[in-house]
Amino acid sequence: MSNSYVVFGAYGGVGSALCRRLANKGAALLLAGRDEVRLASLAAELCAKFFTLDATSLRQVDSRHLTFYFV
């Protein structure tokens, strides 16, 4: 698998399980969520990139912002 995924709510129970499964299949991951400490821990475990974001805030959700993490 050579796909890239952005996972919102990455550090929660379902989100972290999804991230681990995708990482085990070789996916490149960009983890997003509100808790920087928990995101950093999961990102380190999975060799992934992360950024903090409140997905309920339209001001914070900007597709141009996401582009910089995969370039």
CATH number at residue 27: 3.40.50.720
Low pLDDT (below 70) residues in the chain: 1-2, 58-71
Look at residue 1 in the predicted model and tell me its pLDDT.
47
Closest CA to 61 of 35, 22, 34, 43: 34
Counting the structural domains of the chain, the total is: 1
User: Is 70 contained in some domain?
Assistant: no
User: Is 64 contained in some domain?
Assistant: no
Provide the whole-model pTM. Answer: 0.79
Return all residues near 4 (Cβ < 8 A) that are at least 6 apart: 27, 28, 29, 30, 70
Look at residue 30 in the predicted model and tell me its pLDDT.
92
